[in-house]
Structure 1
Amino acid sequence: MTLSFFDQFMSPSYLGIPLMALALTLPWILYPTPSRRWLNNRLLTLQNWFIGQFTKQLLLPVNLGGHKWAVLLTSLMLFLITLNLLGLLPYTFTPTTQLSLNMGLAVPLWMATVVIGFRNQPTITLGHLLPEGTPTPLIPVLIIIETISLFIRPLALGVRLTANLTAGHLLIQLIATAAFVLLPLMPTVAIITSMVLFLLSLLEVAVAMIQAYVFVLLLTLYLQENV
């Protein structure tokens, strides 16, 4: 019996119990906990260096008021990268291929940036809905367009992450199935297909990291507009 290619995106369950919570908890277990010692081991030193460099690069264009989000944004970045990379392992499940999870992350964080903008600088936030120097007849149309674009932002965040990971996983499974079927029929073509599959897997690793970075970077840009 041949299963559907989309069965890999079904939420796993064991004895009727959904394992989504376990999949979301696992990344936090994989990272070592920082100690209170003055000198850490090599792994902790490398982890602290990476987190420091990423946080510095991410918050470079953000005002001082947005630096309060450093811990949240860095944790979200590590969380998404780990989930995306773990999903590339065999017999695993990628929670970030679920639109419900990605929207559950995108909508509250986007809403928090909007609420901060209306609380701290309501005039400037409302001014984003109408560009300066707009002709009077175009004002109602532009306000409607800018309002729609504002509410589309969380949808774009969630759909971008879901679509990229889903497409990559489907393409890997399609090419792997083709290589498996062609192996007894045309071994040479199967070997070439396997090489393409290997290169695609490397590309998917890069996509998994880049999409997590893009997700957090867009949130940072939304935060910059409202701080």
Structure 2
Amino acid sequence: MFMDIFSSFDDHNSVFLGVYVLMWMSSFILIFISVMMYWIGPSRWSLFLNYLQSTISSLVKVATGKYLGWFSVSMVSLFLMLLFLNLCSLISYVFGETSHLAITLSLSLPFWLSLIISGSVHDPQKVVASLLPSGAPSALNPFLILIETVSVGVRPLILALRLGANLTAGHIVMAIIGGFLESAILSCSSSMLICSLFEAFYTIFEFGICFIQAYIFVLLLVLYSDDHPISFH
């Protein structure tokens, strides 16, 4: 039994110790279903994965990331992984990895660093020059460089906070509604039907949030790739 709604995000809670098996089973099921693309006829699951892959690939094709050979495959893999983790966090008593800053920051920071390091190695002068907007007054140059440096430096933190905060807020709301629904069921209250309908519709809404947040995370990384100096060639 949870002491409060925030204990549902504690990975050391004893409730989660017996359900880690469910996470492993879900992973193996996902791998098993993924091999359906090698069957004679395409399955609905393979068509769905192909649609997601083409959607993310189309984002990269209109950005500078298309000149980076690894970028398209990385973004497709990242999107599918985030989508799977987000959907798994909707399962009851399953620890939501993407709700925590440690996980989201470990995903955003390496990709951001790879773009920064790759750009610095490719053309360091253009990376430094991009910190100063063209046509700016010379008196404001130190302040503009400082502001632009800070804005670039906080990008991985913004990515991590955006993903974690949105999913955490959704889980808290679901926990609150579930608490009201439990009380209504135990007391045989007339509000039981209303709480049940609201919980059902909000769960469907959270499914959409899982897709949208994974998409936005990848979209922002694709947009950040436009600052790569290879785009100036």
Report the TM-score, using the length of structure 1 for normalisation.
Answer: 0.86
Counterpart in the other structure of 2:126: 124
TM superposition shift of 1:45: 3.9
Per-residue displacement from partner, 1:86-112 (whole Å, max 9, x unpaired)? 110112111111210111111111000
Counterpart in the other structure of 2:148: 146
Shift of the 12–71 alpha-carbon distance from structure 1 to 2, 3 Å rule, reads farther
Report the TM-score, using the length of structure 2 for normalisation.
Answer: 0.84
Question: 1:171 & 1:34 partners in 2: Cα distance?
Answer: 36
TM superposition shift of 1:146: 0.7
Counterpart in the other structure of 1:212: 214
Q: Post-superposition, which runs of at least 4 consecutive aligned residues in structure 1 deviate over 6 A?
A: 19-22
Q: Give the match's secondary structure for 1:7.
A: helix
Matches within 5 A, 1:32-51: 32-34=33-35, 39-43=40-44, 45-47=46-48, 49-51=50-52
Counterpart in the other structure of 2:8: 8
Question: 2:84 & 2:128 partners in 1: Cα distance?
Answer: 37
Counterpart in the other structure of 1:58: 59
Structure 2 residue ranges without an equivalent (≥5): none
Per-residue displacement from partner, 1:55-101 (whole Å, max 9, x unpaired)? 33221322331343111111110000001001101121111112101
Structure 1 residue ranges without an equivalent (≥5): none
Question: In terms of mean alpha carbon deviation, does 208-217 or 19-28 score higher?
Answer: 19-28
* Aligned-pair Cα RMSD in Å: 3.0
TM superposition shift of 1:52: 3.8
Taking only the aligned residue pairs, the percentage that are identical comes to 30
Per-residue displacement from partner, 1:103-146 (whole Å, max 9, x unpaired)? 11111110001111112232332222111111111111111111
Question: In terms of mean alpha carbon deviation, does 39-48 or 172-181 score higher?
Answer: 39-48
Question: 2:227 & 2:47 partners in 1: Cα distance?
Answer: 32
Counterpart in the other structure of 1:69: 71
The one-letter code sitting in structure 1 at the alignment partner of 2:105 is M
Question: 1:28 & 1:216 partners in 2: Cα distance?
Answer: 25
Question: 2:146 & 2:153 partners in 1: Cα distance?
Answer: 11
Shift of the 33–179 alpha-carbon distance from structure 1 to 2, 3 Å rule, reads closer
